[in-house]
Chain A
Amino acid sequence: MTDTSITAPGLEEVEITGLSRSAFILRGALAASAVYGAGTVGPFVGEALAAGGGGDIGILNFALTLEYLESAFYKEAQKKVKLSSKTAALAKLIGKDEDQHVQALTKAITGAGGKPVKAPGVKFPFSDEKGFLKLAHTFEDTGVSAYNGAAPSIKSKAILSAAGSIVQIEGRHAAAVRLMAGLPPAPNAFDPKLSKDQVLKAVKPFLK
């Protein structure tokens, strides 16, 4: 793919009456993706995009893919590396939340008459606590921006409320992970949003 929009326009900053906030976290996430991910978009991406054919179900399936990714990440983290007890406890707590998000989204998609996407194949390049925390906050920050970017397009009020109740938790996770990593928990006054394409680019390196 020769799309060069990886750095910029994607990072639409939140626009409110001319105020705009720097989106440096997401820039970081996308830069990481640029470094890791020379590969092509995995087959799942097409699946996620095609599933439900757009609309609310398409958005839910997109969210489900991200939640699958997060869920798998925290599972792997608890097995693969030796985490400090505090970090391990946080990974466990967050992992449980992500599992519940997966279940809830699956149910919502089925309930709306759609077909839930399958869990994507994943790979996570980390080998220690530091690497874990870095990926964790990337995923959580990206998750926040993904939901915030997609939510205004949701038509059903019930689904919008559900997405809101999930994104709040992604934001809480992001802050908790960042605190653990010694990073500012809430670096922006306005969380930036990402488009679907930008999110897919950001997570592409972790899919196989």
Chain B
Amino acid sequence: MRNAVQDTSPLGDGALAEIDEDPASRKKFLRMMGTGGAGALSLLIAACGSSSSSSSNSKSTPPPKKSGGGGGGSKESGDLAIVNYALTLEYLEDAFYADVIKAGLFKGSALETIKKFGDSEHQHVVALEGVAKQLGKPAAKPKTKFPLKDMKSVLTLAATVENLGAAAYLGQAAMIKSPDILAAALSIHTVEARHAATLNTLLGKSPTPDGAFGKPATMDQVLPIAKKFIVA
């Protein structure tokens, strides 16, 4: 459908075009940031610098060369910035499932699945908060708002969020320095992938919409979408 990008490399060079569906999104996002969204995400962004939105070789994007540890000139860099980025996404997912359950749209086995997914996201939040505390300061929990109209649209939104989450983890994996944090991120990444595939299947879509290789997304691609659900 909107996946207009050809897979050039068999190892998936991950242009992640389907998320980058709006070519203006990066500009728009930067504008938004400029006009003073001061939430966790803007801090994150400021901290991370803008990792290049490489559409041609995102997999070999070098890690941001900041001060390596946590202290230096910028508030966050390296693994802490990545962990806080992941934490912010997990906060979103956690809040989303909590809202969905509260909204009472689902019953039976669908509700059980949603509860299970929500529980896992909550555990991701707790784990990442712990890691972020070890490295420095965890990202602030954003205030969120999600459009929750009916089952179909909620499942669609859930699928969007989970597919994005999986792409986001994949996009960071090669930049993580600590093997322990990498192992943790990977163990979460495949759970996001399982969630995404489940929701796709429930919606009658392919569990593997990008084919045989998952596509990574950069922070620049993910954050503008995430930001839609964050209320200042």
Partner among A97, A185, A186 whose Cβ is within 8 Å of the Cβ of B208: A97
Partner among B127, B174, B187, B212 whose Cβ is within 8 Å of the Cβ of A164: B174
Chain B min CB distance to A204 (Å): 23
Q: Hey, which chain B residues are within 8 Å of A16, CB to CB?
A: 127, 130-131, 180, 184, 187
> Interface residues of A toward B: which range?
35 or more
- B179 in contact with A152 (CB, 8 Å): yes
> For the complex, what is the distance from the CA of A93 to the CA of B180, rounded to whole Å?
33
> For the complex, what is the distance from the CA of A103 to the CA of B212, rounded to whole Å?
11
Partner among B124, B186, B208 whose Cβ is within 8 Å of the Cβ of A189: B124
> For the complex, what is the distance from the CA of A162 to the CA of B189, rounded to whole Å?
14
B182 located at the interface, meaning its Cβ lies under 8 Å from any Cβ of chain A in the complex: yes
Within 8 A of A (CB), among B153-177: 166, 170, 173-175
- A165 in contact with B213 (CB, 8 Å): yes
Within 8 A of B (CB), among A151-192: 151-153, 157-158, 160-162, 164-176, 179, 184-186, 188-192
Chain B residue with minimal CB distance to A153? B179
Summarize B's interface: helix, strand, loop or mixed: helix
- A171 in contact with B197 (CB, 8 Å): yes
- B131 in contact with A185 (CB, 8 Å): no
Chain A min CB distance to B98 (Å): 15
A57 located at the interface, meaning its Cβ lies under 8 Å from any Cβ of chain B in the complex: no
Summarize A's interface: helix, strand, loop or mixed: helix
B67 located at the interface, meaning its Cβ lies under 8 Å from any Cβ of chain A in the complex: no
Partner among B170, B183, B208 whose Cβ is within 8 Å of the Cβ of A14: B183
Chain A residue with minimal CB distance to B127? A16
Q: Hey, which chain A residues are within 8 Å of B126, CB to CB?
A: 19
Given A165-B213, A172-B208, do A190 and B174 touch, yes or no (CB 8 Å)? Answer: no
- A169 in contact with B214 (CB, 8 Å): yes
Given A19-B130, A93-B208, A186-B120, do A164 and B183 touch, yes or no (CB 8 Å)? Answer: no
Given A19-B127, A161-B174, A190-B127, do A172 and B134 touch, yes or no (CB 8 Å)? Answer: no
B117 located at the interface, meaning its Cβ lies under 8 Å from any Cβ of chain A in the complex: yes
Q: Hey, which chain B residues are within 8 Å of A15, CB to CB?
A: 180, 183-184
- B216 in contact with A161 (CB, 8 Å): yes
Partner among B12, B182, B207 whose Cβ is within 8 Å of the Cβ of A172: B207
- Sorted nearest first, the 9 A-B pairs with minimum C-beta distance are A168-B214, A17-B130, A171-B190, A171-B193, A172-B197, A186-B194, A100-B212, A189-B120, A175-B194
CB-defined A-B contacts under 8 Å, sample of 7: A100-B10, A147-B186, A151-B186, A160-B173, A161-B60, A161-B173, A165-B170
17 further contact pairs, Cβ within 8 A, besides A16-B131, A151-B183, A160-B174? A14-B183, A19-B126, A21-B123, A100-B211, A148-B186, A151-B173, A157-B59, A161-B60, A168-B189, A171-B197, A175-B195, A176-B207, A185-B195, A185-B197, A188-B191, A189-B119, A192-B187
